[in-house]
Amino acid sequence: MSRIAVALACCSAVWSFGQPCASAQSVTASNGPLVIVIGIDGLSVDGVVKAKDPELHKLMEHSAWTLEARGVMPTLSSPNWESMITGAGPEQHGITSNGVMGQHMAKFEPVCKDPEGQFPTMFEVLRTQQPTARIAIFHDWAGFSDLVEKDVPDVMQHEHGHERTTAAAMEYWKANHPTLLFVHLDNVDHTGHDEGWGTAAYYRAVADADRHIGQFVDMVRESGIEDRTYIMVTSDHGGKGRNHGKSSLVEIQIPWVIEGPDIVPGRLTSPVYIYDTAATIAWIFGLNAPDCWIGRPMLTAFRQTLVTARNGPHSVIGTQGCDPPQRPVIAVGAGPSPASSSPITGAGHSH
């Protein structure tokens, strides 16, 4: 199977307000960090607060978290999942819709492209810089796969329903301990559209998703490698009535939770945006992020000693979120000039 290659300039990542990180070091599956991302489609802040979700709240006791993270506009699934996995917004990656009713997901070409014409995801960046990494994606919504480079993950499997998706992802993780596991669950969003956000049925769907969070946490606790495994729980958007896609706080605010080694438990006071997810995961793995990403790693979630060890003795994390960090110089094919009239390729799938 071929691997998409992003053209990378050899350089040090500059993450912490002008202070260069130590050069990224490759890690092996036997000793490096592992990340599990549980993305719950349509999980609102209201759902976290009002539903019976004890597993998530127990996880939050040991996590850095916020219930005030923000997605991107429009508050639709494809633009927000794309932003989460690419470290950028629609202005950069070009995806502005779900690609339904004859529309293209991409309204304009991305500002940078890989050889296949897609804006680089965190999966591609991990594959390029750590070729032996094992990457697995299990998704409940079929459309999620349209956002990912097809030949990058070792496994990208669509399952029907949250139960089957969780079971398949857990079975794979136990057998393979992938470097990065991304799990997409869709039952909460389905119930929101069918019954309405904030209804009793919606809160029951959140409770079902919460049960799966507990299953993943127990799996990691019992694995013997908890000391190098991060668990992230987040969402793409909330909802209002039976829909989403408008410009209200209940639609754009999302939960963002990370637990793992050297995480400082407690509520994050600095702003968190959905595209910071990819940047934070890249930082955990010691990757150089593409120059066209705008997300930043949430260094305030980590212990100062780790940040200092990784970024140097002059690292400052207390003002995280106030000023944009400098970007690492990574060469990825630029998008078209404003005068270009070439058709959209790569990211412009429709479904």
CA 21 to chain centre: 22
Q: Is residue 4 pLDDT above 80, yes or no? A: no
Beta bridge partners of 185: 40
The mean pLDDT of 156-171, rounded to a whole number, is: 98
Asked whether residue 14 carries a pLDDT value surpassing 50, the answer given is no
* Structure-block tokens of residue 75: 């508050």
What's the pLDDT score for residue 103?
A: 65
Residue 83 CB neighbours (<10 A): 28
Query: Please, what are the domains in the chain?
Result: 14-334 (3.40.720.10)
User: Can you give the pLDDT at residue 100?
Assistant: 59
- What integer is the mean pLDDT of 346-351? 30
> How big is the CA angle at 255 (ends 68 and 27), to the nearest 5 degrees?
115
Q: What's the rounded mean pLDDT across residues 335-349?
A: 32
Question: 274-287: per-residue pLDDT in tens?
Answer: 999 999 999 999 99
Please tell me the predicted confidence (pLDDT) of residue 285: 98
pLDDT at 136: 98
- Alpha-carbon gap, residue 281 to 289, rounded angstroms: 10
Q: 48, 56 in Cβ contact below 8 A?
A: yes
Residue 99 is predicted with a pLDDT of 75
Q: Is the pLDDT of residue 151 over 60?
A: yes
Give first-to-last CA distance, the chain, whole Å: 25
Query: How many CB atoms are located within 10 Å of the residue 52 CB?
Result: 12
Asked if pLDDT for residue 305 goes beyond 80, the answer is yes
How would you class 59 by CB atoms within 10 Å of its CB: exposed for 0-12, middle for 13-18, buried for 19 or more? Answer: buried
211-231 pLDDT, tens per residue?
999 999 999 999 999 999 999
pTM listed for this prediction = 0.84
Encode pLDDT of 113-125 as tens digits.
Answer: 998 889 999 999 9
- C-beta contacts of 151-160 below 8 A and 24+ residues apart: 151/1, 151/2, 151/3, 151/4, 152/3, 152/4, 152/121, 152/123, 152/124, 152/127, 153/123, 154/178
62 CB-near residues (< 8 Å, 6+ apart): 259, 263, 265
